[in-house]
Amino acid sequence: MLAQFIQSAYLCVANLLINYDMDKQTTEKKPILPTISALEVDETTSFPVERFNVVRATATQAGLAQHKTFKTNISDDRTVITVTRTA
């Protein structure tokens, strides 16, 4: 009985570690400036909210330098910042 419990606990931990590692691999960082600069009018792109300050500053700087207009928006669950090119 104890051996079954230990085996079950081991499999649960192993599964959690595998899923965590896969999540880390799929969450790649995309470059902010090239991604924002490549947007066409009415196109959007999203970044994790942890990069909020850099995304906002980069959108402002890119807009001034390239004569484009961008709008930023934070998702309702506060996990994603979305950049939309408006002009």
pLDDT digits (tens, 9 = 90+) for 1-25: 666 656 665 655 555 555 554 444 4
d(CA 77, CA 79): 6
Judge whether residue 69 has pLDDT over 80.
yes
* Contact of 86 with 41, CB cutoff 8 Å: yes
The pLDDT value recorded for residue 83 is: 96
Which tokens hold the place of 54?
A: 């850099």
Per-residue pLDDT at 15: 58
Secondary structure (3-state) at 76 = coil
Is the pTM for the entire model greater than 0.75? no
Compute how many other C-beta atoms are within 10 angstroms of the C-beta atom of residue 16. 10
